[in-house]
Amino acid sequence: MDLYQELCGILGKENVFTKEPMSRHTTFRAGGPADYFVTPEEEGQVRTVLALLKEAGVPFYVMGNGSNLLVGDWGYRGVILQICKKMNRIRIQDAVIHAQAGALLSKIAAEAQAEGLTGFEFASGIPGTLGGAVMMNAGAYGGEMKHVLTRAQVLDPTGEIREVLAEEMELGYRSSVFSRKGGVILSASVQLEPGDPSEIQKRMEELKIQRTSKQPLEYPSAGSTFKRPEGYFAGKLIQDAGLRGFQVGGAQVSEKHCGFVINKEQASATDIRSLMEQVSEKVYAQFGVRLEPEVKLIGDFS
Protein backbone atom coordinates (compact mmCIF):
# COMPACT_ATOMS: atom_id res chain seq x y z
CA MET A 1 0.00 0.00 0.00
CA ASP A 2 1.45 3.39 -0.98
CA LEU A 3 1.59 6.46 1.25
CA TYR A 4 -1.43 8.12 -0.34
CA GLN A 5 -3.62 5.08 0.33
CA GLU A 6 -2.37 4.80 3.90
CA LEU A 7 -3.07 8.47 4.58
CA CYS A 8 -6.55 8.13 3.09
CA GLY A 9 -7.14 5.09 5.27
CA ILE A 10 -6.38 7.12 8.39
CA LEU A 11 -7.88 10.49 7.46
CA GLY A 12 -10.41 9.82 4.73
CA LYS A 13 -9.83 10.73 1.09
CA GLU A 14 -11.49 14.13 1.61
CA ASN A 15 -8.63 15.14 3.96
CA VAL A 16 -5.68 14.12 1.77
CA PHE A 17 -4.43 16.29 -1.08
CA THR A 18 -1.49 15.82 -3.43
CA LYS A 19 0.62 18.50 -5.10
CA GLU A 20 -1.22 21.13 -3.08
CA PRO A 21 -0.03 24.73 -3.76
CA MET A 22 1.09 26.20 -0.46
CA SER A 23 0.34 29.70 -1.73
CA ARG A 24 -3.28 28.81 -0.88
CA HIS A 25 -2.44 28.15 2.75
CA THR A 26 0.03 30.85 3.81
CA THR A 27 -0.63 34.52 4.46
CA PHE A 28 2.35 35.42 2.25
CA ARG A 29 0.35 33.91 -0.64
CA ALA A 30 3.52 32.37 -2.03
CA GLY A 31 5.04 28.91 -2.18
CA GLY A 32 5.07 25.80 -4.32
CA PRO A 33 3.24 22.47 -3.93
CA ALA A 34 3.51 20.07 -1.02
CA ASP A 35 3.75 16.44 -2.08
CA TYR A 36 0.98 15.71 0.42
CA PHE A 37 -1.21 18.12 2.36
CA VAL A 38 -3.48 16.62 5.01
CA THR A 39 -6.12 18.02 7.33
CA PRO A 40 -6.68 15.78 10.38
CA GLU A 41 -9.96 16.14 12.23
CA GLU A 42 -9.00 14.90 15.70
CA GLU A 43 -6.02 14.35 17.97
CA GLY A 44 -5.81 10.58 17.48
CA GLN A 45 -5.41 11.03 13.73
CA VAL A 46 -2.48 13.38 14.25
CA ARG A 47 -0.78 10.81 16.44
CA THR A 48 -1.38 7.95 13.97
CA VAL A 49 -0.25 9.91 10.92
CA LEU A 50 2.96 11.12 12.57
CA ALA A 51 3.78 7.62 13.77
CA LEU A 52 3.33 6.35 10.20
CA LEU A 53 5.53 9.09 8.74
CA LYS A 54 8.29 8.61 11.31
CA GLU A 55 8.34 4.87 10.74
CA ALA A 56 8.46 5.37 6.96
CA GLY A 57 11.13 8.09 7.21
CA VAL A 58 8.92 10.62 5.40
CA PRO A 59 9.61 14.31 6.18
CA PHE A 60 6.69 16.25 7.65
CA TYR A 61 5.80 19.68 8.93
CA VAL A 62 2.88 20.64 11.17
CA MET A 63 1.31 24.04 10.44
CA GLY A 64 -1.62 26.09 11.64
CA ASN A 65 -3.06 29.04 9.73
CA GLY A 66 0.15 29.64 7.74
CA SER A 67 0.51 33.15 9.16
CA ASN A 68 4.18 32.70 10.09
CA LEU A 69 5.37 30.45 7.27
CA LEU A 70 7.18 30.74 3.95
CA VAL A 71 7.36 27.67 1.69
CA GLY A 72 9.89 27.52 -1.14
CA ASP A 73 8.76 27.96 -4.75
CA TRP A 74 9.62 24.35 -5.53
CA GLY A 75 7.39 23.15 -2.74
CA TYR A 76 7.80 20.68 0.09
CA ARG A 77 8.98 17.08 -0.36
CA GLY A 78 6.95 15.26 2.23
CA VAL A 79 3.71 15.73 4.15
CA ILE A 80 2.33 18.96 5.59
CA LEU A 81 -0.30 18.54 8.30
CA GLN A 82 -2.58 21.52 8.71
CA ILE A 83 -4.11 21.74 12.18
CA CYS A 84 -6.54 24.54 11.64
CA LYS A 85 -9.85 24.24 9.79
CA LYS A 86 -10.76 20.77 11.09
CA MET A 87 -9.48 20.98 14.68
CA ASN A 88 -10.82 24.25 16.02
CA ARG A 89 -13.48 23.53 18.62
CA ILE A 90 -13.82 25.98 21.53
CA ARG A 91 -15.44 25.31 24.90
CA ILE A 92 -15.87 27.75 27.79
CA GLN A 93 -16.23 26.63 31.39
CA ASP A 94 -16.46 29.32 34.06
CA ALA A 95 -13.61 31.71 33.18
CA VAL A 96 -11.50 29.10 31.38
CA ILE A 97 -11.44 28.67 27.61
CA HIS A 98 -10.53 25.21 26.36
CA ALA A 99 -9.78 25.06 22.63
CA GLN A 100 -8.24 22.78 20.06
CA ALA A 101 -4.95 23.88 18.55
CA GLY A 102 -6.52 24.94 15.25
CA ALA A 103 -8.85 27.52 16.80
CA LEU A 104 -8.07 31.00 15.49
CA LEU A 105 -6.99 33.51 18.13
CA SER A 106 -9.47 36.03 16.71
CA LYS A 107 -12.31 33.53 17.20
CA ILE A 108 -11.25 32.76 20.77
CA ALA A 109 -11.08 36.50 21.53
CA ALA A 110 -14.55 37.03 20.06
CA GLU A 111 -16.06 34.21 22.14
CA ALA A 112 -14.31 35.50 25.26
CA GLN A 113 -15.81 38.94 24.67
CA ALA A 114 -19.28 37.48 24.16
CA GLU A 115 -18.94 35.64 27.49
CA GLY A 116 -17.68 38.74 29.30
CA LEU A 117 -14.16 37.41 29.82
CA THR A 118 -11.18 39.75 29.71
CA GLY A 119 -7.46 39.10 29.27
CA PHE A 120 -7.35 37.86 25.68
CA GLU A 121 -7.90 41.16 23.89
CA PHE A 122 -4.20 41.41 22.99
CA ALA A 123 -4.56 38.35 20.73
CA SER A 124 -7.71 39.46 18.91
CA GLY A 125 -5.79 40.67 15.86
CA ILE A 126 -3.04 38.05 15.70
CA PRO A 127 -3.79 36.05 12.51
CA GLY A 128 -2.75 32.67 13.88
CA THR A 129 -4.01 29.63 15.72
CA LEU A 130 -3.87 28.69 19.37
CA GLY A 131 -1.35 25.93 18.69
CA GLY A 132 1.07 28.30 17.00
CA ALA A 133 0.53 30.88 19.72
CA VAL A 134 1.50 28.37 22.42
CA MET A 135 4.47 27.13 20.43
CA MET A 136 5.89 30.66 19.99
CA ASN A 137 4.41 32.37 23.06
CA ALA A 138 2.65 34.84 20.79
CA GLY A 139 2.12 38.35 22.04
CA ALA A 140 1.08 41.86 21.11
CA TYR A 141 0.32 45.20 22.78
CA GLY A 142 1.79 44.19 26.12
CA GLY A 143 0.07 40.81 26.35
CA GLU A 144 1.57 37.35 25.87
CA MET A 145 0.26 33.82 25.95
CA LYS A 146 2.29 33.14 29.08
CA HIS A 147 0.05 35.61 30.93
CA VAL A 148 -3.11 33.54 30.36
CA LEU A 149 -2.06 30.02 29.42
CA THR A 150 -2.56 27.33 32.06
CA ARG A 151 -1.97 23.99 30.32
CA ALA A 152 -1.78 22.27 26.96
CA GLN A 153 -2.29 18.82 25.55
CA VAL A 154 0.80 17.90 23.55
CA LEU A 155 1.93 15.06 21.32
CA ASP A 156 5.55 14.76 22.47
CA PRO A 157 8.49 13.66 20.27
CA THR A 158 8.14 10.06 21.56
CA GLY A 159 4.57 9.86 20.24
CA GLU A 160 2.86 10.12 23.62
CA ILE A 161 -0.03 12.50 24.27
CA ARG A 162 0.41 14.24 27.62
CA GLU A 163 -0.68 17.30 29.52
CA VAL A 164 1.90 20.02 30.13
CA LEU A 165 1.41 22.82 32.65
CA ALA A 166 2.31 26.39 31.69
CA GLU A 167 5.14 26.53 34.22
CA GLU A 168 6.78 23.59 32.45
CA MET A 169 6.69 25.23 29.02
CA GLU A 170 9.68 27.58 29.46
CA LEU A 171 7.80 30.37 27.71
CA GLY A 172 10.07 33.18 26.57
CA TYR A 173 10.21 35.75 23.78
CA ARG A 174 8.75 33.92 20.77
CA SER A 175 9.88 30.60 22.17
CA SER A 176 8.88 27.63 24.29
CA VAL A 177 10.20 24.22 25.20
CA PHE A 178 8.17 22.90 22.25
CA SER A 179 9.81 25.18 19.69
CA ARG A 180 13.23 24.12 20.97
CA LYS A 181 12.73 20.41 21.65
CA GLY A 182 9.77 19.45 19.49
CA GLY A 183 6.20 18.43 20.07
CA VAL A 184 2.81 19.15 18.52
CA ILE A 185 0.25 21.24 20.39
CA LEU A 186 -3.17 19.56 20.23
CA SER A 187 -5.22 21.78 22.54
CA ALA A 188 -4.76 24.32 25.32
CA SER A 189 -6.56 26.15 28.10
CA VAL A 190 -6.41 29.82 29.02
CA GLN A 191 -7.55 31.42 32.28
CA LEU A 192 -9.34 34.74 31.90
CA GLU A 193 -11.18 37.11 34.26
CA PRO A 194 -14.78 38.36 34.34
CA GLY A 195 -15.17 41.73 32.64
CA ASP A 196 -17.64 44.10 31.03
CA PRO A 197 -18.39 42.90 27.47
CA SER A 198 -18.75 46.48 26.21
CA GLU A 199 -15.39 47.50 27.69
CA ILE A 200 -13.73 44.37 26.24
CA GLN A 201 -15.21 45.18 22.82
CA LYS A 202 -14.03 48.77 23.13
CA ARG A 203 -10.46 47.62 23.86
CA MET A 204 -10.50 45.21 20.91
CA GLU A 205 -11.68 47.99 18.62
CA GLU A 206 -8.93 50.30 19.90
CA LEU A 207 -6.31 47.67 19.12
CA LYS A 208 -7.82 47.12 15.67
CA ILE A 209 -7.50 50.83 14.91
CA GLN A 210 -3.86 50.77 16.03
CA ARG A 211 -3.12 47.77 13.82
CA THR A 212 -4.82 49.10 10.71
CA SER A 213 -3.20 52.51 11.04
CA LYS A 214 0.33 51.18 11.59
CA GLN A 215 0.49 47.83 9.77
CA PRO A 216 0.25 47.07 6.02
CA LEU A 217 -2.75 44.77 6.37
CA GLU A 218 -3.80 45.48 2.78
CA TYR A 219 -0.93 43.31 1.49
CA PRO A 220 -0.11 39.62 2.01
CA SER A 221 2.57 39.22 4.67
CA ALA A 222 3.51 37.12 7.68
CA GLY A 223 3.29 39.95 10.18
CA SER A 224 6.52 40.94 11.91
CA THR A 225 9.17 39.35 9.74
CA PHE A 226 12.11 39.48 12.14
CA LYS A 227 12.49 38.78 15.83
CA ARG A 228 13.15 41.76 18.08
CA PRO A 229 16.88 41.92 18.80
CA GLU A 230 17.66 42.45 22.46
CA GLY A 231 17.80 46.18 23.13
CA TYR A 232 16.50 47.15 19.68
CA PHE A 233 13.44 47.17 17.47
CA ALA A 234 13.77 45.39 14.14
CA GLY A 235 11.60 47.87 12.24
CA LYS A 236 13.59 50.85 13.54
CA LEU A 237 16.90 49.25 12.54
CA ILE A 238 15.57 48.54 9.06
CA GLN A 239 14.26 52.07 8.72
CA ASP A 240 17.52 53.60 9.96
CA ALA A 241 19.41 51.49 7.42
CA GLY A 242 17.50 53.33 4.70
CA LEU A 243 15.54 50.25 3.65
CA ARG A 244 11.97 51.58 3.80
CA GLY A 245 10.39 50.49 0.49
CA PHE A 246 13.42 48.35 -0.45
CA GLN A 247 12.25 45.82 -3.03
CA VAL A 248 13.42 42.51 -4.50
CA GLY A 249 11.18 41.29 -7.29
CA GLY A 250 7.63 41.52 -6.01
CA ALA A 251 8.65 41.55 -2.33
CA GLN A 252 9.03 44.83 -0.46
CA VAL A 253 9.93 46.22 2.95
CA SER A 254 6.66 47.90 3.82
CA GLU A 255 6.67 51.67 3.54
CA LYS A 256 4.04 51.73 6.28
CA HIS A 257 5.93 49.57 8.81
CA CYS A 258 9.54 48.58 8.14
CA GLY A 259 9.21 45.49 10.33
CA PHE A 260 6.93 43.91 7.72
CA VAL A 261 8.01 42.30 4.47
CA ILE A 262 5.02 42.29 2.11
CA ASN A 263 4.08 40.49 -1.07
CA LYS A 264 3.42 43.63 -3.07
CA GLU A 265 3.44 42.41 -6.66
CA GLN A 266 2.99 38.63 -6.96
CA ALA A 267 6.28 37.97 -5.20
CA SER A 268 7.81 34.53 -5.33
CA ALA A 269 8.98 32.84 -2.15
CA THR A 270 12.52 33.31 -3.48
CA ASP A 271 11.92 37.07 -3.78
CA ILE A 272 10.76 37.18 -0.17
CA ARG A 273 13.64 35.10 1.18
CA SER A 274 16.20 37.07 -0.82
CA LEU A 275 14.83 40.36 0.48
CA MET A 276 14.92 39.05 4.07
CA GLU A 277 18.53 37.95 3.66
CA GLN A 278 19.61 41.24 2.10
CA VAL A 279 17.88 43.27 4.80
CA SER A 280 19.61 41.22 7.49
CA GLU A 281 23.02 41.70 5.85
CA LYS A 282 22.58 45.44 5.32
CA VAL A 283 21.44 46.02 8.92
CA TYR A 284 24.34 43.96 10.23
CA ALA A 285 26.82 45.86 8.06
CA GLN A 286 25.60 49.21 9.41
CA PHE A 287 24.81 48.45 13.03
CA GLY A 288 26.44 45.13 13.89
CA VAL A 289 23.05 43.68 14.86
CA ARG A 290 21.97 40.42 13.26
CA LEU A 291 18.25 40.22 12.48
CA GLU A 292 16.86 36.72 12.78
CA PRO A 293 13.68 35.73 10.96
CA GLU A 294 10.54 35.24 12.99
CA VAL A 295 9.03 33.61 9.90
CA LYS A 296 9.64 29.86 9.45
CA LEU A 297 11.16 28.87 6.10
CA ILE A 298 10.61 25.34 4.81
CA GLY A 299 10.76 23.49 1.52
CA ASP A 300 12.80 23.87 -1.64
CA PHE A 301 13.78 27.35 -2.78
CA SER A 302 15.89 26.20 -5.73
Catalytic residues: 174, 224, 294
Angle made by CA atoms 26, 299, 159, in degrees to the nearest 5 = 90
Phi, psi of 149 (to 5 degrees): -70, 135
HEC secondary structure over the chain: CCHHHHHHHHHCHHHEEEEEEHHHCCCCCCCCEEEEEECCCCHHHHHHHHHHHHHHCCCEEEECCCCCEEECCCCEEEEEEECCCCCCCEEEECCEEEEECCCEHHHHHHHHHHCCEECCHHHCCCCCEHHHHHHHCCEECCEEHHHCEEEEEEECCCCCEEEEEHHHCCCECCECHHHHHCCEEEEEEEECEECCHHHHHHHHHHHHHHHHHHCCCCCCEEEECECCCCCCCHHHHHHHCCCCCCEECCEEECCCCCCEEEECCCCCHHHHHHHHHHHHHHHHHHHCCCCCECCEEECCCC
